[in-house]
Structure 1
Amino acid sequence: MRFLFCLLFCSFPVAATDTAAAWQAWRDGQAVLILRHALAPGVGDPAGFVLDDCRSQRNLNQQGQQQAKAWGEKLRQLHDGSFRLYSSQWCRCLETAQLMAIAEVKPLPALNSFFAGRGDAQAQTQALLQYFSVNISPEPIILITHQVNFTELTGIFPQSAAGALVALPLTYPARVLAQVSLADL
């Protein structure tokens, strides 16, 4: 009977009060918000990908640009102070971060995609864990990255522009406090 109870109720999404507490932990510098970049239709990048050439990459469409702006508005509603904003060096992540218009964007190679052998999942995840064991800030932190990086760290397969509030210091696997999306805010 206990097993059935747990099966029915333990798998439900995080309660609203838990989400509120997770946002408070984020505002207090005890968590980070990790977001998958906004909508950039397709999978991976085209042949001829060049990191410094956005024309060679998958980029945000109009809906993705709107999602990024909406995240910026929501985050300003949730916190009226300054932010720390880190992004993958891929154009779709940088554009997501820039369109949020909440802080100077700091490119962080540990957030770069390792999809299809473009990087090293283990090394980048370890670098991310190391970076946020030393660079913890009292300001809310936002990380913009890719599905593969997000999934490697959290075990969650996010939709475009979806996120999670993750406890600091980062651990592997991460301690997810709440999953979040624009629809939830």
Structure 2
Amino acid sequence: MRHASAPGFGDPEGFTLGDCNTQRNLSASGREEARKLGETIRSQGITPTAIYSSQWCRCLHTAEELNLGTVNALPALNSFFQGRGNSAEQTSALKKHLATLKPTDKVLYVTHQVNTTALTGIYPDSGEVVLFKFNPDGQVTVIGRVQTQ
């Protein structure tokens, strides 16, 4: 899932991981989008096996507003937009993580557009969920998309 709506583009100068005052954060409508999506997921009887998020505040807050369970930070989900990380290394680390899951696991990942695109080839809107399965050969198969806007 790409984080819910956060006004602006990228992160401001002086960005510091762990300091939300230095980051681009969710708007009030973004928080509401996440809450509504969480309600929809619960109403469908879906319970994630685990929830992982980028360490960026807008992703952590999206995951928290979903109110679906404990949120675990996963650095492989951190943004690499504007040179803040390494696309190949982080995507490889995420694939290694995915390879540890059982086929029956239903895991929710909250991340950024660039990460989702690198993994799936999909350019998601803010708050969009990209449903995929991870294949034994290390490839990803997209099986659906859920738009929240």
Q: What is the TM-score with the length of structure 1 in the denominator?
A: 0.75
Q: Which runs of 4+ in 1 moved over 4 A?
A: 170-173
Instruction: Map 1:14-163 to 2 at 5 A.
Output: 35-81=1-47, 83-136=49-102, 138-163=104-129
Secondary structure at the residue paired with 1:36?
coil
Would the alpha carbon gap of residues 49 and 170 (structure 1) be closer, same or farther in structure 2, given more than 3 Å must change?
farther
Contact 1:153 1:172 in 2 (8 A): no
User: 1:149-180, CA deviations, whole angstroms, 9 ceiling, x for partnerless residues?
Assistant: 01111111111001211013476652101111
Q: CA deviation at 1:82?
A: 5.2
Contact 2:54 2:73 in 1 (8 A): yes
Contact 1:83 1:102 in 2 (8 A): no
Task: Please say which structure displays the higher CA radius of gyration.
Answer: 1
Between the two proteins, what is the percent identity of the paired residues? Answer: 44
More helix by share: 1
- Higher relative contact order (Cα pairs below 8 Å, separated by 6+ residues): 1
Q: What is the TM-score with the length of structure 2 in the denominator?
A: 0.93
Which AA in structure 2 matches 1:48?
Answer: G
Unaligned residue ranges in structure 1 (runs of 5+): 1-34
CA RMSD of superposed structures (Å): 1.7
Unaligned residue ranges in structure 2 (runs of 5+): none
Match of 1:18 in 2: none
Contact 1:132 1:169 in 2 (8 A): no
Which AA in structure 2 matches 1:127?
Answer: A
Q: How many residues align?
A: 149
